[in-house]
Amino acid sequence: MARLVKRGKTWQYEISFKKGDGSFDKLRKGGFRTRTEAKDAVTELEYNMSRGLKGEKKNLFLSEYFEDWMSLYKEDSVSTITYRKYQDT
């Protein structure tokens, strides 16, 4: 569940999630001009997390980011051969 907060003239979202080791952490992002922009961004983030995106992104290797990107955006939209080429990359 996300929380939307107005901070000065901009909006910020805060979302709690469970890390792989079982502990909980928070992810925050601000700078949205309107509440709707913040709500749209957090909705997309929650959707991606439900599809398997990891919430902890502070110390992420490029290879891990690429694997997340492949599984979120390419696995269901490209052919098997193309996806295998992404894996080889």
DSSP string, 24-41: EEEEEEEEESSHHHHHHH
Which of the four pLDDT bands, split at 50, 70 and 90, describes residue 49? confident
| Rounded Cα–Cα distance for residues 75 and 45 (Å) | 18
User: What percent of the chain shows pLDDT beyond 90?
Assistant: 27
pTM value surpassing 0.75: no
Domain ranges of the chain: 1-55, 59-89
What pLDDT score was predicted for residue 56? 57
What pLDDT score was predicted for residue 11? 93
Q: Is pLDDT above 70 for 23?
A: yes
SS3 at position 77: coil
Question: By the 8 A CB rule, do 51 and 27 touch?
Answer: no
| Rounded Cα–Cα distance for residues 69 and 62 (Å) | 10
What pLDDT score was predicted for residue 8? 92
Question: By the 8 A CB rule, do 18 and 24 touch?
Answer: yes
What mean pLDDT is predicted for residues 18-38? 87
